[in-house]
Structure formats: C-alpha cells, structure tokens
Amino acid sequence: MPSQKILEMKKQQVADLKEKVANSVAGVLVDYRGISAGDDTKLRKELREAGVDYMVVKNTLLHRVFEGTDLSELDSLLEGTTALAISTDDYTAAARILGNYAENNESFALKGGFLDGKVIDLDTVNSLAKLPTKEVLLATVCNALNAPIAAFARVLNAVAEKDGEAAPEAPAEEAAE
C-alpha cells in the first residue's frame, strides 16, 4: 500500500494537471508506443517551440483529471501508452505537430482530444492537424484583403500611363520657337 507521502504527491500531480487542462484551449491524446528516444527528443523540442506542453501521463492519473468534467468521455481512450499535449493559446499546434509525426510513424497514433473543454473525435483532431499555422492563415487573409487594393492601384497606374501617351507632345521644333 502506498505511503501517505506518495498519495499526497499523486493528489498534487492530479490537481496540477487538472489546472493545466482547465486553462488550455486544446489538447490531444496520443499513443506514443514505438517512438525512439531521439525522435521523442525532436518531437518534444518542436512542441515546446510551438508553446505546447507534452507529457507522458499514467492512465489512472488522467482518469482522475477527467473525472467529473466535460472531458470524462476521454476515459475510453485511456488504454495502452498515453501522452497528453496541451496548448494554452494555439488551437491547432498540438494536433498539427503530432498529426504530422503520426503520418510518418505507424506505431505513433493520435487517440482523440478536446477543444475549449469539449471532447472532439479523432476525425476532428485529424482535420485540425491539416490546418495551416496561425501565421499562414493571417497572411492569407491579409493577401485576400490586399489584392483588390493592389489591383485598383494597377488600374489607376495603367489609366495614368495611357492618358500620358494620348496627350500629343509638342514637336521639338515648335518647342524651340
């Protein structure tokens, strides 16, 4: 039987993780079986640079974290090896990075996830994984807004050039008189 000190430590881990999950906008559960230490290090680095917390968590601890919340449906995914990736500000980063990794590694698999405290299915996680980054989306919107203005400027420039060609220039001889 575990000592009181170990039980208190586990309760604190559950409380800390529950707070992290509650403060996150998105999370993804993965089965990380078969990942090498080198690949795991690269994956963790990429996730960290994107502002995503990635941790391997015992299923029993995650069960306690999800218990009594809207995320309790995720209990059915808590089999085998489980890692949790959560983000506090980017809805797609965890799904995108882990989804890309899962495409190239058959033994690594997405299980499911959540957005804004609501459970999402694997298809939704895969859809999120295919979305471009926030910066790319913003650039696309800016280009879409900028395109009509740029086209209008080109039309004005073409009209101005055409008007400049249409105006007869005085012959050099007349200008000399």
Task: Spell out a b/e string for 59-71, using b for 16 or more CB atoms within 10 Å of the CB, else e.
Answer: eebbebbbeeeeb
pLDDT, tens only, 86-122: 999 888 899 999 999 988 888 888 999 999 889 998 8
Q: Is the pLDDT of residue 83 over 90?
A: yes
User: What pLDDT is recorded for position 166?
Assistant: 53
Residues 6+ apart with CB under 8 A from 73: 119
Segment 45-54 shows an average pLDDT of 93
Q: What is the pTM of this model?
A: 0.71
Q: Would you state the pLDDT for residue 106?
A: 83
Rounded (5°) CA angle 135-26-40:
85
**Per-residue confidence at 30, pLDDT binned at 50, 70, 90?**
very high
* DSSP characters over 25-65: SEEEEEE-TT--HHHHHHHHHHHHHTTEEEEE--HHHHHHH
Q: Greater confidence, 132 or 32?
A: 32
Average pLDDT over residues 9-31: 91
C-alpha angle 53/54/58, rounded to 5°? 125
* Per-residue confidence (pLDDT) for residue 82, from 0 to 100: 92
- Give me the pLDDT at residue 90, please: 87
φ/ψ of residue 35, rounded to 5: -85, 135
pLDDT for the residue numbered 126 = 86
What pLDDT, on the 0 to 100 scale, is given for residue 59?
A: 92
- Arithmetic mean of pLDDT, 163-177: 55
Give the residue among 109, 110, 112, 105 at the shortest CA–CA distance from 36: 105
Q: Encode pLDDT of 115-145 as tens digits.
A: 988 999 888 888 888 876 777 767 777 777 7
Radius of gyration of the chain (CA): 28
pLDDT for position 155: 80
Mean pLDDT, the chain, whole residue set? 84
- The answer to whether residues 133 and 51 touch, using CB atoms and an 8 Å cutoff, is no
